[in-house]
C-alpha cells in the first residue's frame, strides 16, 4: 500500500457565531436532561438510565465549551485590536 498524502491544501477553518452555537447546544442538552427527569423511574426500570446522565454530561461539558469559546473569542479580538497579523489558520 502506498502512503496516503494529501493532494490539496486544507481549507480555511469556518468561522461563525461559535459562542452562540455552543451556548445553544448546551441549552439543548440541559433541556433534554430536564425533559427526561420526570421519567427517571421508567429509565431505571428499562436499564436506560445512561440516557439521563448522558444529557447531564453533555450540558456540563457544554458549560466548559462556552467558557472556552468565550475566552478564545476575547483573545482573537484582543489580537486583532493590537494590529497583529492573523495566526488562526
Q: What is the pLDDT of residues 3-18, one digit of tens each?
A: 777 778 888 877 889 9
pLDDT tens per residue across span 30-55: 999 999 999 999 999 999 999 999 99
The three cell numbers locating residue 48: 436506560
Is the separation of the CB atoms in 19 and 66 below 8 Å?
yes
CA distances from 21 to 27, 87, 89 (A): 10, 23, 20
pTM of the model: 0.76
Nearest to 55, CA basis, from 82, 25, 85? 25
CA dihedral sign, ordered 85, 86, 87, 89: negative
Amino acid at each position: 500500500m502506498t502512503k496516503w498524502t494529501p493532494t490539496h491544501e486544507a481549507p480555511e477553518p469556518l468561522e461563525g457565531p461559535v459562542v452562540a452555537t455552543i451556548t445553544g447546544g448546551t441549552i439543548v442538552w440541559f433541556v433534554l436532561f430536564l425533559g427526561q427527569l420526570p421519567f427517571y423511574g421508567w429509565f431505571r426500570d428499562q436499564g436506560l438510565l445512561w440516557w439521563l446522565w448522558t444529557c447531564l454530561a453533555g450540558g456540563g461539558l457544554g458549560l466548559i465549551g462556552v467558557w472556552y469559546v468565550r475566552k478564545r473569542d476575547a483573545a482573537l479580538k484582543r489580537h486583532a485590536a493590537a494590529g497583529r497579523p492573523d495566526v488562526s489558520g
